[in-house]
Amino acid sequence: MNEVTTDVRELRNCFGRFATGVTVVTCEHGEGKHGFTVNSFTSVSLQPPLVLVSVDRRTRALPYLQNNAFTINILRESQQDTAMHFAGRPLDVPPFEWDDTRIKDSLAYIECEPWAEYDGGDHVLFVGKVKRFEYEDGAPLGYFGGKFATIEPL
């Protein structure tokens, strides 16, 4: 068994055993649109409708999200290039199109207004109140063990 204080990398590897979907959180700030890839996303409450995203404090777009409306774009299996673009590895030609603050053709969209913000150590936890959502059937982009993964829909 690994001690948490001695091996942060191994702790990260352990956390990576939890399979997740991949999202891009987007918002508008000033005159621009901003986004970043997030796999730490979860529903919190149905009444009121709340969701949470956990954002690394080193994320350049972090200040744009504070006290600001945001959209969670749940990516499709085919949107791996989009996930990489917003994870800091952009292509010369963006692999996506904007639709307001949405990423076109995502599997689902969840538009939120700010609800609460909490200290999460090296992350900031943003809770958003869901204002609008839309979704389609399809295969999501998955993430497991530090790599993209396939999640088969039932």
What is the full DSSP assignment across the chain?
---TTT-HHHHHHHHTTS-EE-EEEEEEETTEEEEEEE--EEEEEETTEEEEEEEETT-TTHHHHTTS-EEEEEPBGGGHHHHHHHTT---SS-SS-EETTEETT-SEEEEEEEEEEEEETTEEEEEEEEEEEEE--SPBEEEETTEEEE----
pLDDT in tens, the chain (154 residues): 555 556 788 888 888 888 899 999 999 998 799 999 998 999 999 999 999 999 999 998 899 999 999 999 999 999 999 999 999 998 889 999 999 999 999 999 999 999 999 999 999 999 999 999 999 999 999 998 889 998 887 7
Q: According to the model, what pLDDT value does residue 27 have? A: 96
Q: According to the model, what pLDDT value does residue 78 have? A: 96
Phi-psi sector, 22: left (phi>0), alpha (psi -120 to 50), beta: beta
Q: According to the model, what pLDDT value does residue 6 have? A: 62
Q: According to the model, what pLDDT value does residue 56 have? A: 92
Q: According to the model, what pLDDT value does residue 91 have? A: 86
- Check: CB of residue 139 under 8 Å from CB of residue 153: yes
